[in-house]
A = this chain, B = another copy of it.
């Protein structure tokens, strides 16, 4: 057990899997000679050589499709997108090739690969570089999606994603790469589809995923000062989705806030609300509230960006509202 960064944990997961399986390789922009735009693959070129750690041209559709093709032939590509914003260019290969291949071929052609990189906003990167892309990857059946929030989850979930026989999107966060945390040194995986209670609490549940887990924990600490015990449930995996864990926290607190980085319309939170009202309708003492990015493209100006992002105050307020500690507006 050592304290390392999220970045190092991802690196450790890739090395762990590349050591045990020669069919695993890493391909993307700047991943080799430059050690990765965010230095996630530091040292991997030296360690594995340019056969397995490969710099690609800026051709997202092409190299994502090339990786899908390599996976059709049985290799296990790790396709790095410098950020998922750019993967929108590659979405046709993700949806029409990777997600649908196994089904169209009646099970003949699995696509055991990983699409990984940061999703969502960092700081003042403006509209085209700040988008949370979960909805685009979770809507179509055939792809799996995990969103590690801590170094330990990063190592375990990325390793599990690499070993999984289906295409798995691993969405990281630029602002998470420097986060430090305890990570087991030994080889391990965290199975897909298992959510984790990052903080137990009896009064209200903050359900979330990815980067927002940290915002949820800050909100929970703030609520603690008002003697409100918030439970923070980190879904960790959006598909497969740990429905039992969601229903369990609903049953426990009867009050839920869904926090996500992305936009509201057809966001992940919409699905969670739909699921809860459908399967735990009678458990709810209040409607599930959602805290999301403002429904606007991300502005550059510091103050506007802060306004647009979902923040601690908004989560605290939402928790108060589901507890009826503040007059609801309707």
A residues neighboring B (CB under 8 Å): 61, 85, 88-89, 91-92, 95-96, 99-100, 103-104, 126-128, 131, 134-136, 138-142, 239, 262-271, 273-274, 277-279, 281, 286-290, 295-297, 299, 330
Contact = CB atoms under 8 A, between A and B. Distances in A.
B127 A103 contact: yes
8 contacts: A104-B127, A104-B128, A131-B140, A135-B139, A135-B266, A138-B265, A139-B263, A277-B287
Given A274-B270, A279-B330, A103 B297 contact: yes
A297 B266 contact: no
A88 B92 contact: yes
A297 B265 contact: no
A270 B265 CA distance: 9
A296 B91 contact: no
A296 B140 CA distance: 8
A94 to B, nearest CB: 9
Nearest to A286: B281
Contacts of A281: 286-287
A262 to B, nearest CB: 8
A290 B267 contact: no
Contacts of A286: 281
Given A91-B91, A135-B139, A278-B287, A103 B263 contact: no
A12 to B, nearest CB: 31
A54 B270 CA distance: 40
Contact of A278 (B99, B128, B142, B289): B289
Residue among A85, A92, A286 facing the most chain B CB atoms (10 A cut-off): A92
B277 A288 contact: yes
Nearest 6 CB-CB pairs, A to B?
A: A270-B270, A273-B274, A100-B127, A281-B287, A103-B297, A100-B297
B266 A99 contact: no
A118 B302 CA distance: 41
A197 B274 CA distance: 23
Contacts of A239: 265
B139 A265 contact: yes
A287 B277 CA distance: 6
A153 to B, nearest CB: 22
A126 B101 CA distance: 12
A92 B84 CA distance: 11
Given A127-B104, A136-B139, A142-B297, A269 B274 contact: yes
